[in-house]
Structure 1
Amino acid sequence: MVGPFVFFDHMGPLDLPAGIDRSLDVRPHPHIGLSTISYLFSGELMHRDSLGYAQAVRPREVNWMTAGSGITHSERLERARAHGDRLHGIQAWVALPDGQEEIAPSFSHHTADDLPQWADAGVTGRLIAGSAYGLRAKVDTLSPLFYAHLDMAPGAAAEIPNGHRERALYVASGAVEMDGERYEAGRMLVLGRAASRVRAIDQSTVMLLGGEPVGERFVYWNFVSSSRDRLAEAAADWKAGRMSLPVADDAEFIPLPEESARPSPALS
């Protein structure tokens, strides 16, 4: 974990021709105890959930889904199937803080107007969630955090926000330098308190993230909780069909993995 961030999935870049098979879609599946942050550099995903929301996420927009006590959703490649597409983005999970893990599920969509932008000396930035650089995104969060997207020209340098106990940097594309070391795309750097600047070696896309710790968490499949028993309960509910499927997308689903519902070692 870095602050409340507990999962970080870099999707693509992937070129998808028109007419792709539906087997590439992410079929309906459940979550508890977390918020998902879907953010794309290119392409489009179609979200549908058990609250009745149907919302495409497009580049430099945010789909923020809070699972709380339980939600199901699907992510379909409908644009790619119709027209072809280049899918590239990141989905992050944020663990919910103590006392709010079982809140009512919710969903919100945020266009670029809700995500503060800036440009300076070869760096173009966008604040996806939380507060940093003296800015605040119009995305409701349940614990102190920050999440930012930087596009950096070769040789450009950027400050890494302070003010949060835990911070990390992810190189989504290109290559960067920190403290005399080179880091290529695909590297996640968990930063100490002294780290303050990053410099792009090539044209680079960098994600900055962090926040205040929310305490020990366990993960099993798509479920996050401070309680192992709660994970087992969620797994049993899904296996027994006790969680409603997304509205207008209830004809199929992803079954519970065959292995026993055994959570990961504690994350903190």
Structure 2
Amino acid sequence: MIEMVIEQRRRSLGGGLEVGRVLPFAKRRMVGPFVFFDHMGPMDLAAGVDRSVDVRPHPHIGLSTVTYLFTGEMMHRDSVGSEIAVRPREVNWMTAGRGITHSERFEKARAMGDHLHGIQAWVALPEADEECDPAFTHLDGDALPTWTERGASGQLIAGSAFGLTAGAPVFSPMFYIALTLAPGATAELPTGHRERALYIAQGAITLDGRDWQTGQMLVLDANAAAIRSAGGALVMVLGGEPVGERFLYWNFVSSRQERIAEAAADWRAGRMKLPDLDNGEFIPLPDDPGLPSRPLP
């Protein structure tokens, strides 16, 4: 039933912002179309927190990002003109396609302090859609399909599961669910997809006769399964159909290595548009002798 266990690896993004990196993993690069999975926090941000904690404008290609918060708030600005606060239990789905740039700022925390806890995942686009037009979609919590059964509350973030379909503009068969389990609750996991996994964001669960803890991703086979939590838990359930091998460098995802090199060159040369409402700074391309070395102006 459980094919692999992936432990989160703590990573600093600078400025005091820390995440638990789950995907990609050396022995499991993707689950369905999911190519990247970061657990943000949980962490307290004090009032007046320095701007170094912000994620300055940076680029993406070939993927969709989905940001989902349990607590806290981030301000999203991008190069297609979006400006919106990312709040708990809402969905912010950004399709990079041929190229987009965005920033994530902690403006509420700077004003009054905040407690940040959430997940950011990247979904690889099928080859036919890798160069689609960039776009951004925001969905309020009331717009997401929800259900409650046996003490478990589910929210369908994207894709299709249990006969329900979410409103995020997905490009391949997939599902992404947030489950809140009360103490003693049980929950069935969706079937019908070739690849599945769950990630324990908070608390602990029992599956396959063993207990599993916060920070673990369990990669599952295709058989029916149910989880139980004695003390309560927050669990993300994800998966879908594979889209094929993908190359990942920094914030770029593509089925073609040469496309990533092209995007890196474009970013170095300043050919990717910054967000109109946040164009005063950016994150430089990391040094890499295998990529073009021209500095950004």
TM-score normalised per structure 1: 0.96
Which residue of the partner structure matches residue 60 of structure 1? 89
8 Å Cα contact 2:191-2:224 kept in structure 1? no
Which residue of the partner structure matches residue 79 of structure 2? 50
- 1:259, CA displacement in angstroms? 2.4
TM-score normalised per structure 2: 0.87
Question: Whole-Å Cα distance in 1 between the matches of residues 274 and 222 of structure 2?
Answer: 43
After superposition, where does 1:11-50 map in structure 2 within 5 Å? 11-50=40-79
Q: Given the alignment of the two structures, is residue 133 of structure 1 paired with residue 153 of structure 2, yes or no?
A: no
Question: Whole-Å Cα distance in 2 between the matches of residues 68 and 7 of structure 1?
Answer: 16
Which residue of the partner structure matches residue 8 of structure 2? none
Pick from 230, 234, 238 the counterpart of residue 205 of structure 1: 234
8 Å Cα contact 2:190-2:224 kept in structure 1? no
Q: Given the alignment of the two structures, is residue 162 of structure 1 paired with residue 201 of structure 2, yes or no?
A: no
Question: Whole-Å Cα distance in 2 between the matches of residues 247 and 157 of structure 1?
Answer: 47
Q: Secondary structure at the match of 2:259?
A: helix
- 1:155, CA displacement in angstroms? 2.0
- 1:140, CA displacement in angstroms? 1.4
Q: Given the alignment of the two structures, is residue 222 of structure 1 paired with residue 251 of structure 2, yes or no?
A: yes
Which residue of the partner structure matches residue 124 of structure 1? 153
8 Å Cα contact 1:220-1:261 kept in structure 2? no
Question: Whole-Å Cα distance in 2 between the matches of residues 99 and 260 of structure 1?
Answer: 30
Question: Whole-Å Cα distance in 1 between the matches of residues 174 and 46 of structure 2?
Answer: 37
Letter in 1 for 2:59: P
Pick from 116, 119, 135 the counterpart of residue 106 of structure 1: 135
8 Å Cα contact 1:235-1:261 kept in structure 2? no
Letter in 2 for 1:49: D
Q: Secondary structure at the match of 2:117?
A: strand
Deviation per residue, 1:160-189 (Å, 9 max, x gap)? 100111100000000111111111000001
Which residue of the partner structure matches residue 81 of structure 1? 110
What number of residue pairs does the alignment pair up? 262
8 Å Cα contact 2:56-2:103 kept in structure 1? yes
After superposition, where does 1:238-257 map in structure 2 within 5 Å? 238-257=267-286
Q: Secondary structure at the match of 1:189?
A: strand
- 1:195, CA displacement in angstroms? 4.6
Taking a change above 3 Å as real, the CA distance of residues 249 and 196 of structure 1, as seen in their structure-2 partners, is same
Which residue of the partner structure matches residue 295 of structure 2? none
- 1:202, CA displacement in angstroms? 2.0
Which residue of the partner structure matches residue 13 of structure 2? none
Q: Secondary structure at the match of 1:99?
A: helix
Letter in 1 for 2:107: E
Question: Whole-Å Cα distance in 1 between the matches of residues 168 and 78 of structure 2?
Answer: 19
8 Å Cα contact 2:173-2:240 kept in structure 1? yes
